[in-house]
Structure 1
Amino acid sequence: MALDMGIVILTLVIGLLIAVLVWSLTKKSTPSSTKGKNEKGANSKKEGKKLSGMPPKVPKKKTTAAVSKDSKSTFTHSWLLTSLKGHTGAITDMDFSANGKHLATCAEDRSLMLWKLNFGRLDSSVVELNMKDIRTVRAHVQYDSATLIRWSPDSKALLTVRALGNNIEIYKVMKKPEAGGLPSVQPSHAFDKIREADLLAIDVASTGRFIMTCTPKNELDILDLKGKLLASVVTNQMETYSAKISPDGRFVATSGFTPEVRVWEVVFSRTGEFEKVTRAFELGGHTSGIYSFDYSPDSGRMVSVSKDGSWRLYNTNIDYRQGQLATLLVSGKWKGEGNEPARIALAPDGRVVAIGSNSSLYIYSTVNAELLAHIPDVHSAPITRLRFDSTSRFILTTGDKYVRIFHNVPGFKIAVADLESKLKKATGQAMKERCQIQLKEAVALVNLFNSKNE
């Protein structure tokens, strides 16, 4: 009996050893099963983290996403003159020099760049520009980056706002004969910080008499050229979105949460001494907050774009002291995208208005508010700055690390119709000859892009 029991126990032990050996061999031969179980377990843990409110781990390698995002640099369009490439971070602001020779940009990569464009001398037959043909100058903001940039009226200095310091820093722009006329950009000095809230706008009067800054908290400040505070105004707009000095250097306007553009006059004595800032007039008619506005070069027109989905063009060539009010010239609807703020710019010749909403560019006629063009996906991020050059031939946008420069083809077409009408009404020989020359140039530009699109 004892012998039988021993045989049974021995048989069980041998069977157990065989089972363990078989299980071990099976595990080695089926790694995919184990991998599936591990992945399932990992996914379960990941889902558990999501449900518990903890963020999932971010994979270290993001090559695919980076390539996809940067693919926007390959943007093409038949109206595109060029894309200015040089910044490695998002461009925060841009401004043209008064002499028309340079565009200045600043970016989150701590760099300032000057681009020698001089559109006034660019031949009208040029459809595209290669970056190799554009000369640039680069400077760096020490220990900081610039959020805003403006040229001085004499084109000899740049005023910037430091992102961390939130104060104005001045850079001298000096010509270097040995570099073939390209200037150098060197830091000069900085003004003391005045406001705790971030500055949303900076501008310099064309007269050279004062500097304007503004914050979202309705703090509008007038400074002299040495940074001394001359006057402060509370805009009373709940939140201010935009602020600019008029091209004639006489007025400062702001827009914000309230449905009007408010305009102040900065008054100086005949001897050039600052006197006061006084309320001048308003641009009304919108039913919601106003994202931004722009002036014509002579300050006689202003255009605004609102949250209510409309844009409005006003006649501001008025004597407000005699009780004259700004009058509406034309109003149109703009096709906004989502809740993104919109930027608006008025062509210097007054023929078209450009609106940037999200990453799209819209161009409208100032004659009948007709939508003339829609260019989608101009940038990989919402458009933050929008400008025309002084000739009205080009539209510049930025919203990422590139500046897109488009030919103003809708403006060319409007110009042809406008000049044909003026030519019929012209009485003097000099006026007729001037209209004929301008008409010939406009027709040539329209034909150039018509042939390109065929």
Structure 2
Amino acid sequence: MGCGRGRDESGKSGKGNKSGKSGKSGKSGKSGKAGKAGKAGSLSTGGGRKKGKKKSTTHESPLFMKTIKGHGGEVYSASFVAKGMVLATTSSDRTVQFHATTAKTLKAASMPVKVMPIELDEVKCLASVPDADVAVGLSGYAGDVVVFDLSFSAWLASSSSRDPVATERTRFQPGHRDDILKLLLWGGANAAPVVVTVGRDTLVRIHSTSGTELAVLDTKQMRNNNAAVSADGRFFAVAAFTSDVKIYEAVRDKAGAFTGVELAMDLGGHTRSVNFVSFSADACRVATLSLDGSWILWDIDVRYMVNEDPHILHVAALDDAGLTADAIHVFELSPDGNTLAFAINADIMLFDANSGEAIATITDAHGESIRITSLVWHPSSKALISTAAMDKHVRLWKTS
């Protein structure tokens, strides 16, 4: 899947159009009042700590499961690898840590961990796909893409195993003139993974895991805002300055090797720039969030080869929840396509993707005014990982 910084700048959203072009949607904008705690259908979970007290590694929220410790510096990112059985975290302490997150260890007081030092560098983020034995990271100093080979079977079978779980294979420069907005690994069970780097301009570059450039894509939409890939290795989507979201399909040979990319469909329901796009695990649903003041849940399981358009399942107006689009800097659809997770500064908000109703608000998830930097869904959709600026810990939350 992918990694990258949460959105930290945008134009002003205003109140905008509440529904985008929602003619295909039966309802719009009934998203609950999550921004105004205490309304029906929402669960407000209060603050994480009281003023004047030492920072706690617990939280008052009933959704809190545990704090995952181990890093000596700010945690940059978190991602699940090995089909969700391992959580990989990157940090300013120049290590990548791998935490065993099996059903058994998630319930334990502590989890087995493997630490991989990064010599004379740091990894800003790490991306993988469920069925791959490879991950890619973004170098914090040189801007290289770093490719790692993964092997977890011996360690997961016996936490005392001394075998390394990750080794660096190669590094390469992706060739962007502008900053890299998003790093993605694009592949699936029968699709050999390729590395996708998305620039803050309009360029997307695709490389093999050995560093060979395979394709360069120009979205021609003035500026890329966000991007995502589907877990099956089929689709790649870009949210950009314009109001439509383009979804591309990987072209592969019979052996699953990448040979090119083609435009598959457009999501044309918004009226202003789109800030975020996120896939469900089965690649049947997509969620988008726009500066028009709305988010949309889409059904993309359509016959696009014969020009059948994606269907709008639900449109929700952000101001019904007391929110504006520019306040949301992380936006993730759950793997089962039923729940949306937002980060708004230090808070986490959960919404029912099908109805727009508020589910819960976790206030000051990592402490008072500590900005959330990433949210990552567990493959089961029953738990959520969060990381935050200047926090050395990762937090795990239950969502059902």
TM bracket, shorter-chain basis: 0.7 to 0.9
Query: Structure 2 matches for 1:2-401, cutoff 5 A?
Result: 71=55, 73-119=57-103, 121=104, 130=109, 133-151=110-128, 153-175=130-152, 180-181=160-161, 184=164, 185-204=166-185, 205-206=187-188, 207-272=191-256, 274-334=258-318, 335-336=322-323, 339-379=326-366, 380-400=369-389, 401=391
The whole-number CA distance in structure 2 between the counterparts of 1:337 and 1:403 is 27
Note if contact 1:345-1:355 (Cα within 8 Å) is conserved in structure 2: yes
8 Å contact from structure 2 (residues 139, 145) kept in 1: yes
Identity among equivalent positions (%) equals 24
Partner of 1:408: 399
Following TM superposition, by how much is the alpha carbon of 1:151 offset from its aligned partner in structure 2, in angstroms?
Answer: 2.5
Displacement, 1:333? 3.0
Confirm or deny: 8 A CA contact 1:240 1:256 kept in the other structure: yes
Q: Which residue of 1 aligns with 2:32?
A: none
Distance 1:224 1:186, change over 3 A: closer
Maintained 8 Å contact 2:228/2:238: yes
Within 1, Cα distance between the matches of 2:201 and 2:112?
39
Q: Distance in 2 between matches of 1:182 and 1:373?
A: 42
Query: SS of the counterpart of 1:87?
Result: coil
Q: Is the 8 A contact 1:337 1:357 kept in 2?
A: no
Quickly say closer, same or farther: Cα 1:338–1:345, change in 2 above 3 A: closer
- Give the helix-richer structure, 1 or 2: 1
SS at match of 1:384: strand
Q: Give the Cα separation in 1 of the matches to 2:209 and 2:92.
A: 26
The structure with the largest strand share of the pair is 2
- CA 1:288–1:168: 2 relative to 1, 3 Å: same
Mapped partners of 2:163, 2:80: distance in 1: 15
Q: What's the offset of the Cα at 1:153?
A: 4.9
CA distance in 2, matches of 1:144, 1:69: 35
Quick one: structure 1 residues 105 and 122, their matched pair in 2 at CA, closer, same or farther if it must change by over 3 Å?
closer
My pick for the range that moved more, 271-280 or 99-108, is 271-280
C-alpha contact (below 8 Å) 1:256/1:290 kept by paired residues: yes
Q: Relative contact order (C-alpha < 8 Å, sep 6+): which is higher?
A: 2
- Aligned letter for 2:262? T
CA distance in 1, matches of 2:96, 2:255: 36
Query: For the residues of structure 1 that align with 2:242 and 2:123, how far apart are their CA atoms?
Result: 29
**What is aligned with 2:42?**
none
**Partner of residue 17, structure 2:** none
Distance 1:384 1:79, change over 3 A: same
How big is the shift at 1:68?
Answer: 7.0
> Would the aligned equivalents of 1:305 and 1:311 in 2 still touch at CA under 8 Å?
yes
* Offset at residue 69 of structure 1 (A): 10
Q: Which amino acid aligns with 1:394?
A: A
Post-superposition offset of 1:302: 0.5
Moved more, 338-347 or 208-217: 338-347
* 1:270–1:213 Cα change, 3 Å: same
1:247 counterpart SS class: coil
Provide, for residues 413-450 of structure 1, a one-character-per-residue CA deviation record: whole Å limited to 9, x for no partner.
xxxxxxxxxxxxxxxxxxxxxxxxxxxxxxxxxxxxxx
CA distance in 1, matches of 2:97, 2:192: 23
Check conservation: 1:94, 1:104, Cα contact below 8 A.
Answer: yes
Distance 1:327 1:104 in 2: 35
Secondary structure of residue in 1 paired with 2:55 = helix
Shift of 1:367: 3.0
Gap change, CA 1:144 and 1:68, over 3 Å in 2: farther
Three-state SS of the structure 2 residue aligned to 1:99 is: helix
Please state whether the residue corresponding to 1:82 is helix, strand or coil: strand
- TM-score w.r.t. length of structure 1: 0.68
Structure 1 contact 137–182 (Cα < 8 Å) conserved: no
Q: When the two structures are aligned, how many residues end up with a matched partner?
A: 336
Please tell me the residue identity of whatever aligns with 1:238: M
Contact 1:346 1:352 in 2 (8 A): yes
| Distance in 2 (alpha carbons) for counterparts of 1:76 and 1:308 | 34
Q: Is the 8 A contact 1:340 1:382 kept in 2?
A: no
Q: Deviations over 1:197-219 (max 9, x none)?
A: 22222222122242211111121
